[in-house]
Amino acid sequence: MKRAMIKAMSMAVLVGASGSCLVSLSGCVQFPTEKQSVADLRPQIAFKAAGGVFPGAARVWVDGLDAGSVLEAIEGQGALRVLPGTHRLQVRDGARVLLDEQVYLGDGTSRTLILP
């Protein structure tokens, strides 16, 4: 019953719009599309607090350069991306050094470092 109604309505639309039928039907065609994207394979670094509480003012330093707040790279919420290779990572809270490690990170790797 429903099919017959839909078929009758669609025929009525086609008959009623006779002159513009081809124009309206040509707009319904969707051509195949191709989506291209570039995968970001740079290594990722995230941090986890051993006690569950992150020092709010702690900063991450990569090879002697300030890379931002440790709160921007909490495991599961964000990550710090670096170039592949060997890096010296430090996390400092003011003058206090919470972490000082030299790590090798290859393409596509993720590393979580635990802060005391």
Start and end residues for every CATH 2.60.40.1120 domain found in the chain: 44-115
- Superfamily (CATH H level) for 44-115: Carboxypeptidase-like, regulatory domain (2.60.40.1120)
Chain centroid offset of residue 106 CA: 19
Q: CA torsion sign, 75 to 76 to 80 to 83?
A: positive
Per-residue model confidence as pLDDT tens for the chain (116 residues): 555 555 544 554 444 444 444 444 455 667 777 877 778 889 999 999 888 777 778 999 999 999 999 999 999 999 999 999 999 999 999 889 999 999 999 999 999 999 88
Say what the pTM is.
0.63
How far is Cα 88 from Cα 99, in angstroms, rounded to an integer?
A: 10
